[in-house]
Amino acid sequence: MNKRYISLIIISFITVGMLPTLLGNGENGNNGCYQERLIQSDSRTLLRGDKITYHFPTILNDCNYTLNIYGITECGECSVDWELAIGFKNLPEDFNLEEELSENNEWVINVDDCGEFDQEIELPGGIVAYIDYIRINNQGTCPIQYSWEFSSECPCKSTVALYPKVDIEQFSVTGGATIIRDGKILTNFNTIPGVQQTFIQVENRGFFTQNDVKVKVMGLPQGISVSITPDTQKIKAHNLGTYQATFEVGPNVPSGTYKVAMIAYSENGVFDTIQIDLIVP
């Protein structure tokens, strides 16, 4: 079977001030070093009338992003008719797109060929910032099997640890699973709809008191929020600081596995970062 490619030319966006992003050569203090990270992924089969909408998490303008969708549409006694719609929001007046948008600021790509498809789209952060959602809609009678990956390529951060002895020690669901223990990842963080109580412990194994230790979670998908208390605390040498983290999962968050980063830091720099898989059922 011949592999068919969806024609999705989205890099042809023209806007003032985007050229440094599009033409960046690594000369921005990172010595040409970039780090790749999988942000979202999902695999599904869409039957007739099925559709799903994806929202991106918070993005960084100095990163480049890659959207990869691949799979197969059945051939046979059925009709192929599905679309990939990219919706935009808050577009400035001088933002010029070569592709014509619909009245509701969507760029819609229709597919009516059966067989395999594989498309990789590269998107600078300056473009992704204006994407509101991406929707896949099966309007035909042939099932669609696809996989979806959204990843980032960001400038490397300094690898020199300012405080190598201050670590994220534990992350646990209250009355449930322990996701991180002794600084090691034991399992995934399986969320549930609604409010979920967790706690995070940061250990100061050094010889000096840290006066302003904070914790944050980055990379959460749209529809999931977290509040952490206390906002900051003093952790004495050879002591633990415990933070209550309340996650709220909305009803419309797309199912899938999301890469999120848990970070312990102060105004002077980052203490420790641990990346975990957050799973939405």
Query: Given 155, 190, 224, which residue is the final one in a domain?
Result: 155
pLDDT score, position 188: 95
Q: Is the residue at 161 inside a domain?
A: no
Structure tokens at 280: 């939405």
Query: Given 155, 190, 207, which residue is the final one in a domain?
Result: 155
My answer on whether 175 and 267 are in the same domain is yes
Is 109 exposed, middle or buried (CB count within 10 Å of its CB: 0-12, 13-18, 19+)? middle
Q: Is the residue at 226 inside a domain?
A: yes
- CATH code, domain carrying 81: 2.60.120
My answer on whether 217 and 276 are in the same domain is yes
Q: Is the residue at 160 inside a domain?
A: no
Do 209 and 237 form a contact (C-beta atoms < 8 A)?
A: yes
Q: Is the residue at 138 inside a domain?
A: yes
Tens-digit pLDDT profile for the chain (281 aa)?
A: 334 333 343 333 333 233 233 223 333 445 557 778 787 788 889 999 998 888 766 666 678 888 888 999 988 889 999 998 888 887 777 666 656 777 778 888 888 889 998 888 887 777 777 888 888 999 999 999 988 888 888 876 554 444 458 899 999 999 999 999 999 999 999 999 999 999 999 999 888 889 899 999 988 888 999 999 999 999 999 999 999 999 999 998 988 888 898 999 887 778 888 989 999 98
pTM exceeds 0.85 for this model: no
My answer on whether 117 and 237 are in the same domain is no
CA 230 to CA 240: how far, in whole Å?
14
Do 213 and 166 form a contact (C-beta atoms < 8 A)?
A: yes
My answer on whether 95 and 174 are in the same domain is no
Among candidates 258, 227, 267, which has minimal Cα distance to 245? 227
Count of domains for the chain: 2
Do 229 and 275 form a contact (C-beta atoms < 8 A)?
A: no
My answer on whether 18 and 88 are in the same domain is yes
Query: Given 133, 155, 177, which residue is the final one in a domain?
Result: 155
pLDDT score, position 7: 38
My answer on whether 139 and 260 are in the same domain is no
My answer on whether 20 and 150 are in the same domain is yes
My answer on whether 21 and 133 are in the same domain is yes
CA 189 to CA 277: how far, in whole Å?
6
My answer on whether 263 and 149 are in the same domain is no
CA 39 to CA 263: how far, in whole Å?
16
My answer on whether 189 and 122 are in the same domain is no
Q: Is the residue at 273 inside a domain?
A: yes
- CATH code, domain carrying 203: 2.60.40.2310
Which range marks the domain in which residue 230 is found?
166-280
